[in-house]
Amino acid sequence: MNPAGAPIGVLIVDDSATVRAVLRRLLAPCDDIVVVGEAGNGREAVAAAAALAPHVILMDVEMPHMDGVEATQAIMGARPTPILVITSRSARREVRAAFQCFSQGALEVLAKPEHPAAWEAMAQALPEKIRALAGAAPPPRTRIASPAPACPPPRGTLRCIAVAASTGGPPALAAFLAAFARPLPAPVLIVQHISPGFEAGLAEWLATVTGLEVALATHGEVLGQGQVRVAPGDHHLRVTPRGTLELDGRTPPLGGHRPSADQLFTSCAEAMPTHTAGILLTGMGRDGAEGLLRLRRAGGLALVQDEASCAVFGMPRAALELDPTLPAMPPAALAAAVEAYAGGGRR
């Protein structure tokens, strides 16, 4: 974790000297961020991480001698450091490799720009991501689930589990989903803030690591038992009273996000408030806090991830600021709480 007021030390790892130079140039205007070193392959990255102790590592995936997956595994085993993967979203193998990095402890992914204008757009996003990760504490690879606190009695059968996450979300989502008994107690809808173009890769990776039926949501699809659906890029995801999914690419981003967690939770509060469990996981910002409060006030179950297990406690903290009585716990305990709630509502 970066001490308050100290510059954020960044290690840039990429086999392209040109890419490393561009990343360095993008960060040069940031007074609070300093590039402490560069590495051209995974072996160099592991050595540099040990020698330089950076606060954040920018990690490529396809490199000679040792790729980004192996390097991430080695770094997280020796000296856990927040890792931001930067890779192509156009090559399926690189997208898969990026999510393999998540399995090894990486926390965030950004798309490597494919034209000059996109690099300028990245100049806006990259420092914000680095600052968020600099305050992140990578959670342990294994964690003992704390007992789930008592939840309010359900008012009917559970029809939907709505989940939202941002920075550090993929590992938290995997831990949450993997903790459920099979079959799932209700369909799961996910809003994950992620670099555009990686949504399908997220769904594929979650399906692989959990064994569940995970896919991108489609407009008009009916909620089905055992399904896990991920909001596609640049579309709000909502649920209707009929139990169908609605994708909206016209409504502007809410709080800078499309898909928006607030949109998902609010739709559940309006369509099936007493039949929904809303879960807010790790992430930066405030998206989802107000929608989760609406869901709870409408009679739904509302839970957040606890600070100790979060990579970034921003979104759950925002929800707790609005309602300090929200139950907070690690991902596996969240799943147990939802299962207990669903079991109490079965007829």
Dihedral angle at the C-alpha atoms of 171, 131, 54, 100, nearest 10 degrees? 20
d(CA 282, CA 136): 10
Angle at 150 between CA 148 and CA 151, to 5 degrees: 105
Catalytic-role residue among 88, 166, 195, 260: 166
The one-character DSSP state at 310 is -
Indicate the pairing of strand 188-192 with strand 227-230. Answer: parallel
d(CA 296, CA 273): 8
The one-character DSSP state at 231 is P
The one-character DSSP state at 278 is E
Q: Specify whether 193 is catalytic.
A: yes
3-class secondary structure, 323? coil
Catalytic-role residue among 15, 55, 67, 193: 193
* Residues 282 and 315 sit within 8 Å (Cβ to Cβ): yes
* Residues 99 and 170 sit within 8 Å (Cβ to Cβ): yes
Tokens of 26: 């993008």
Catalytic-role residue among 14, 15, 60, 287: 287
Tokens of 128: 């914000």
End-to-end CA distance of the chain: 48
Q: Specify whether 166 is catalytic.
A: yes
d(CA 207, CA 230): 11
Q: Specify whether 67 is catalytic.
A: no
* Residues 326 and 319 sit within 8 Å (Cβ to Cβ): yes
Catalytic residues: 166, 193, 287
